[in-house]
């Protein structure tokens, strides 16, 4: 059984400053590694759709969405927060990044390919209900999850997030929505300095110290996440796939490796086959060392296959 990899050329149009780590070359590194590994022969590759304001309104404040559209620059750039900028191509890139998630949800729900990976940028999991943050303009995974709940009338979806940074935006959007089980591992203390004190029956945060390796991380997933996911019985599993916890990525201080991401994907595949006809939608978040990013994405996709 294959897997569909969604992306869109417009995601390359989000241009950044020369020293900004969230650069278009991230997607090129993934594409190059997919070709180099021979994985392109085992996957289906498709362009995603463009999201609309109406899609965004399900996860974001309407005033915030409208303000982003109004402020989108026609030349030069603007800063939405100290880390997040918009250039003339950024709005279009962000709409296709969100839209790839929508296309992925529609495809897995229709049953053609039950699993999908979205190679998109800008990333999304720091974007809150009403503000941009941490390289993120719109929350790609949150909009995809709300699309599954509204358009496909699901009652329970799970979001698992293994980026080295806490997915504070996703937590912000779903704090009061018990239809969504959120599991998030992240380095702590570390940017954005959230998540460690969260108390919620449907949010399982796993703050872990700098230096955390695969053994400790897998133990946390096995002891806390997997039982909770089994009990929740999700109808669709979403993955915020941030690969900046890799030992070669200097954006964080975790020591994960390709084999850890491969293992995690296999766990999600097994859970999905048990509870939701194999349905998994993963979306790229962090990962800034190009070599380890490409290798990790390939390992993760192979785990889903």
Catalytic site positions: 126
Give one DSSP letter per residue of 169-213, joined into a string. HHHHHHTT-TTEEEEEEEESS-TT--STT---TTEEEEEE-TT-B
Give one DSSP letter per residue of 215-233, joined into a string. HHHHHHIIIIIHHHHHHH-
Which class for 1: exposed (0-12), middle (13-18), buried (19 or more C-beta within 10 A)? exposed
Are the beta carbons of 117 and 279 closer than 8 angstroms?
no
Residues 74, 54, 81, 123, Cα dihedral to 10°: -100
Under DSSP, the state recorded for 76 is S
> Which helix or strand (DSSP H or E) is residue 90 part of?
helix 90-110
Strands 203-208 and 180-187: parallel
Q: How far apart are CA 260 and CA 2, in angstroms?
A: 21
Q: How far apart are CA 193 and CA 24, in angstroms?
A: 27
25 is written with which tokens? 């070359």
Q: Is the dihedral of CA 205, 118, 263, 251 positive or negative?
A: negative
């Amino acid at each position: 059984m294959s897997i569909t990899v969604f992306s869109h050329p417009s995601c390359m149009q989000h241009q950044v400053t020369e020293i900004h780590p969230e650069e278009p070359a991230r997607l090129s590194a993934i594409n190059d590694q997919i070709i180099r590994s021979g994985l392109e022969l085992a996957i289906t590759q498709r362009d995603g759709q463009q999201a609309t304001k109406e899609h965004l309104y399900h996860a974001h404040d309407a005033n915030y969405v409208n303000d982003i559209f109004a402020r989108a620059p026609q030349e030069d750039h603007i800063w939405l927060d100290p880390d997040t900028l918009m250039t003339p191509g950024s709005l279009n890139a962000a709409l296709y990044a969100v839209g790839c998630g929508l296309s992925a949800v529609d495809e897995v729900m229709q049953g053609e390919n039950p699993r999908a990976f979205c190679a998109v940028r800008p990333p999304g999991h720091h974007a809150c209900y009403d503000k941009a943050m941490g390289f993120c303009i719109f929350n790609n995974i949150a909009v995809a999850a709300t699309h599954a709940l509204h358009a496909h009338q699901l009652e329970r979806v799970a979001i698992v997030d293994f980026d080295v940074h806490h997915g504070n935006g996703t937590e912000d959007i779903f704090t009061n929505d018990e239809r969504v089980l959120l599991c998030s591992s992240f380095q702590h203390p570390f940017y954005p300095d959230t998540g460690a004190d969260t108390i919620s029956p449907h949010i399982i945060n796993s703050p872990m110290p700098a230096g955390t390796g695969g053994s400790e991380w897998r133990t946390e997933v096995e002891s806390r996440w997997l039982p909770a996911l089994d009990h929740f019985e999700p109808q669709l599993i979403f993955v915020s796939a941030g690969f900046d916890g890799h030992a070669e990525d200097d954006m964080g201080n975790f020591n994960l490796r390709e084999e850890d991401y491969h293992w995690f994907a296999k766990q999600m595949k097994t859970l999905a086959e048990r509870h939701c006809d194999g349905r998994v939608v993963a979306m790229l978040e962090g990962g800034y060392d190009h070599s380890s990013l490409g290798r990790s994405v390939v390992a993760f996709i192979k785990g889903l296959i």
